A = this chain, B = another copy of it.
Amino acid sequence: MPTLRKDPITDRWVIISPTGSKKPSGIGQVCSRITPEDGPIGFCPFCTGNETATPPEVLAYRQAGTKPNEPGWTLRVTPNKFPALRIEGSLDRTGEGVYDKMNGVGAHEVIIETPDHYGRLSLLAQKEFEDVIWAYRDRIIDLKRDKRFKYILIFKNQGAEAGASLPHTHTQLIALPIVPQMVNEELEGAKRYYRYKERCILCDIVRQEINDGSRVVSTNDDFVALEPFAPRFPFETWILPRQHDSHFEDIKKNEAENLARIFSDTLKRIMKALNWPPYNFMLHTSPFDDMVVEYYHWHFEIIPKSTRVAGFEWGSGFFINHTAPEEAAAFLRDVDLTDFK
């Protein structure tokens, strides 16, 4: 029997209608990994030696003694060469009859996680993955100073099918002059729950999930990786801090280490289980304006790209998912990572 499940934060209903097959159809058909066997790289602006092909870096972690915009970096952040938003200018909010618009002011940056063209986030060493976490944090802290910005989206598109325009692994960052509506809805949903219960809904979810266990992929001292109760997509996986924390950028050193650990482990499991699927992930965190938020809890949402997701979801916001999250969690828990490479 299919079930309708409601996401308790956003009130989004999802149809969970398992087909009975173990692996979801449409996942694992396209491999987003690249290797030297795929043929010559061609020109890659994200590879070492091609630093002048991107706008000048705004952050880099590099070997001592190496110069900005030259080789020697292990992680590099540059403005997007084809930005969706421009950093210069004022917002100039104006109307046009029933419509509203403003100038597209914002930042659009690219975090190149490794100089290795064949590198993948899931293949990074622990220290390298921690650096990715620190780069996200450092850029947020820096961009927060610009009072025109209200929110930062940090997201990754891996694989052309998931929207990546370059195969060299990278994360994107967009600083926005508004809080996206979906973030506002999540915040509103969380606020509603807080008013009623005086507890953070995500704290309650974390507690209930760890207690129940059926949707948990893994845990460590600071984090839990789980399949949400009402996932929009097969193998949608969230990573949440176990303790309440509203703003990602407040992450502590030991937490960053544990986040790198569980994030790497989770990605490895998804890559192995679904044969390197194209995927997206996004950081959900609190807007800049709010100092400490009692009712909201930052987290990452990872979405393996399913080619068979029907497009009508775009028109309705209503999702049909043929893989129950309990099945997906069991599948991911059972992945044997001993020979992962």
Q: Which residues of A contact B (CB under 8 A)?
A: 1-6, 8, 10-13, 15-17, 19, 82-86, 89, 96-104, 153, 155-157, 160-165, 172, 176-178, 180-183, 185, 201, 204-205, 208, 212, 229-230, 232-233, 278-282, 284, 301, 303, 305, 307-312, 314-318, 320
Q: Please, how many angstroms separate the alpha-carbon atoms of A11 and B212 in the complex? A: 37
Between A17, A102, A185, A315, the greatest number of chain B beta carbons within 10 A of the residue's beta carbon is seen for: A315
Give the one of A8, A96, A104 with max B CB within 10 A.
A104
Which of B156, B181, B201, B315 interacts with A98 by CB under 8 Å? B201
Q: Give Cα distance in the complex from A3 to B91, angstroms.
A: 9
Which of B4, B97, B98, B279 contacts A102 (CB under 8 A)? B4
A205 vs chain B, min Cβ distance (A): 6
B181, A4: Cβ atoms closer than 8 Å: no
Q: Which residues of B contact A163 (CB under 8 A)?
A: 308-312
Q: Known pairs A3-B102, A12-B181, A279-B311; list 18 more (Cβ under 8 Å).
A: A1-B86, A1-B89, A2-B86, A4-B101, A4-B102, A6-B100, A8-B98, A17-B85, A19-B82, A97-B208, A97-B212, A153-B316, A155-B316, A157-B311, A180-B317, A278-B311, A280-B311, A280-B312
CB atoms of B305 and A311 under 8 A apart: yes
- Nearest-CB distance from A128 to chain B (Å)? 23
Q: Are A99 and B316 touching (Cβ within 8 A)?
A: no
CB pair B205–A316 under 8 Å, yes or no, is: no
Nearest chain-B residue to A160 (Cβ)? B307
- The answer on a CB contact under 8 Å between B3 and A312 is no
User: Which of B13, B16, B82, B160 makes the CB contact (< 8 A) with A180?
Assistant: B13
Grouping DSSP codes into helix (H, G, I), strand (E, B) and loop, the A interface class, with mixed when no group exceeds half, is mixed
Q: Within the complex, what minimum Cβ distance (angstroms) separates A27 from chain B?
A: 13
Q: Are B318 and A176 in contact (CB under 8 A)?
A: yes
List of B residues within 8 angstroms of A205 by Cβ = 98
Residues of chain B within 8 A (CB-CB) of A84 are: 2, 15, 17, 320
Known: A153-B312, A172-B312, A315-B301. A181 touches B13 (CB 8 A): yes
A178, closest chain B residue (CB): B13
Which one of A96, A282, A303 has the greatest number of beta carbons of chain B within 10 Å? Answer: A282
**Chain B contacts for A309, CB-based, 8 A:** 163
Known interface pairs A97-B208, A282-B315. Does A4 touch B177 (Cβ–Cβ under 8 Å)?
yes
Is the pair B312, A155 in contact by a Cβ cutoff of 8 Å?
yes
A163 CB, nearest partner CB in chain B, Å:
3
Question: Smallest Cβ distance from A104 to chain B, in angstroms?
Answer: 3
Contact of A5 among B15, B101, B280, B311 (CB under 8 A): B101
Partner of A282, one of B153, B233, B312: B312
A194 to chain B minimum Cβ distance, whole angstroms, is 12
